[in-house]
Amino acid sequence: MIEVGGERPYDVVVGRGLLADVAGLVPGAAQAAVVYAAPLAARAAEVADGLRAAGVRPLPVEVPDAEAGKTVAVAADVWDALGAAAFTRTDVVVGVGGGAVTDLAGYAAASWLRGVRWVPVSASLLGMVDAAVGGKTGVNTAAGKNLVGAFHPPAGVLADVDLLDTLPPADLRAGLAEVVKCGFIADPAILDLVEADPAAAVDPRSAALHELVVRAVRVKAEVVAGDLRESGRREILNYGHTLAHAIEQVQGYRWRHGDAVAVGLVFAAALGHLAGRLDAETAARHARTLRLLDLPTTYAADAWPRLRQVMAVDKKARAGALRFVVLDALAAPTILTAPPESTLAAAYAAVAG
């Protein structure tokens, strides 16, 4: 169990066989909306059974899978379901799925009655180490990813690693991009674990993967505890994400988030190096480590003009100036503001494939 501190502290429970334990995180709830996509119907039913056994009435709410469900229109469908069930402030929204579903469920909870309790039950590695922890909720719009949302800490988080047993290998690998990111910005032991045994890192039953999950959650918990609203240090969690979000938008969200982050990490490392911040060896280590996990490290060479245009509306931008998370050294993240266009283009050359 990992505590996320701050003004509204909560626990992240990492373990196996946790799906029946949601009710323990939300005492006093009379009913729970269980938001899920079709591929997770059986797991959502297990959560519902556990709630029912604890005296909480489950309300199943099925939504489209992945990024297709992370829209204002789908959020409105969830609100309609909550309204039809006469949802009150003592009730709870439970999101069962990957990061897209938990982001959506959290946003529905944040906006219903100006905030009801919610619990993410992560069914993906990406969700466990990133989307479910930190209280950032939201949906995508035509203008970009996660531009509409709210900061709304959950009542608790369940990371049941049993759910990784049936996760497609490509999705597991993509989730590891966020884990590797945590290694570069805060906990280099993560990188050592991956480099020592890449096969164990992608084995859902291995002790190594369990440790990687715990270490990544601890990194995020420590950062968000002191900066819920991303007004300061929390920005470091966006390392690699400026280019990643642009890639996702250009791809129509058909790329996995973690795959885009992997490319974004290599770009951010090159940018830090070209800006005179990061040494060449640590910059090169990014692509080397990601390739051990069979993650992408390149993107289309001719895509830069469109990607640059999309990055102009990145959430970290201030007064029209782009701001990037870069490294001064391993585990020493900082902000680089308004780098020259020539430097940006040169950094993109490092990922142009």
| 241 among annotated binding-site residues | yes
| 97 among annotated binding-site residues | no
DSSP class of 85: T
Q: Residue 36 forms beta bridges with which residues?
A: 62, 96
Give the E-state strand segments of the chain in sequence order: 2-4, 10-15, 31-37, 57-63, 92-97, 117-122, 136-141, 144-151, 157-160, 323-329, 332-337
Question: What six digits make up the tokens of 74?
Answer: 């789908």
Report d(CA 282, CA 328) in Å as an integer.
Answer: 10
| 245 among annotated binding-site residues | no
Helix crossing, 189-196 with 207-225: angle to 10°? 160
| 68 among annotated binding-site residues | yes
Residues in the chain: 353
| 5 among annotated binding-site residues | no
DSSP class of 239: T
| 217 among annotated binding-site residues | no
Q: Are strands 2-4 and 144-151 parallel, antiparallel or unpaired?
A: unpaired
| 202 among annotated binding-site residues | no
| 195 among annotated binding-site residues | no
| 69 among annotated binding-site residues | yes
Report d(CA 124, CA 115) in Å as an integer.
Answer: 25
| 66 among annotated binding-site residues | yes
| 257 among annotated binding-site residues | yes
Question: What six digits make up the tokens of 22?
Answer: 């949601």
| 220 among annotated binding-site residues | no
Please state the residue numbers annotated as binding site for Zn(2+).
Answer: 178, 241, 257
| Binding site feature residues for NAD(+) | 65-70, 99-103, 136, 145
Binding residues: 65-70, 99-103, 136, 145, 178, 241, 257
